[in-house]
Structure 1
Amino acid sequence: MTTPDPRHNIRVTVATEYLADQSDEAGQRWVFAYHITIRNEGSVSARLLTRHWVITDGEERVQEVHGEGVIGEQPHIAPGQTFEYTSGAILETEVGSMRGSYQMIGEDGIHFDAEIPAFTLAPPHALH
């Protein structure tokens, strides 16, 4: 693994929310929102080109999602700036997890990945 270039330092933080009003536990449908903050802590402006998500449910079933941008945008994030958005996921089990990466390009033309750390999707009562 190569050492990350400090000029290309993107930090991703996630907050999750269980959407009980959209979920149907009897129908095995658990709906979650995730609130993403992408902060450019590097010294080079960068644009988010594509995303890759790995979603794993409680039965270890894996779904991979690839796509352009996020919420229909390919945001350009200058050093010190943040970009925030909210999206959602539907699971067939009460608990699951997500992780992934954003594929970025710096204004210097260098392509790099910004890792999205793994996070848990679970209703408040599901985990102790």
Structure 2
Amino acid sequence: MKSKKYLVLLNHEINELLIDFICSFIKQNKSIVYFVYVIEIPPKYPIEHEEQNLILIGQSVLKKVHDILLDFNIDYDINGENFILIQSRSIGVGIVKEARRLDIDIIAYSKKVNFELNEHNYIKKYAKTTILELNNL
């Protein structure tokens, strides 16, 4: 069986239950998991505009996830390809583009703490992949 590639959507609130759930896929199925944090850039700024405080928040979130993975004896390189910080005009657009770039099999997120409903709907509509929407995590 081919191992699956997961893209896990993160935001400023770390959802440890979601990360715990995904860790089981990493360990049991030898799946490859990418953790992505999207910085949404308002249209009034050029897309390459760097909002330093938002970058620091994103880096902090990715570091916290890395620490959780280490607790599970999963040693992904914090500077490697599995931890992704991107900028986009829209979170949904950024996620869909990243999923296509990485040829992702499954996009996973927790509905309770991630994105507004319209971002969920955008991802569901345009991502050409399976969506794993975990409710109330």
When the two structures are superposed, what TM-score results if normalisation uses the length of structure 2? 0.26
Q: Which has the higher helix share?
A: 2
* CA radius of gyration, larger in: 1
Q: Relative to total residues, which structure has the larger strand share, 1 or 2? A: 1
- Provide the TM-score with structure 1 as the length reference: 0.27
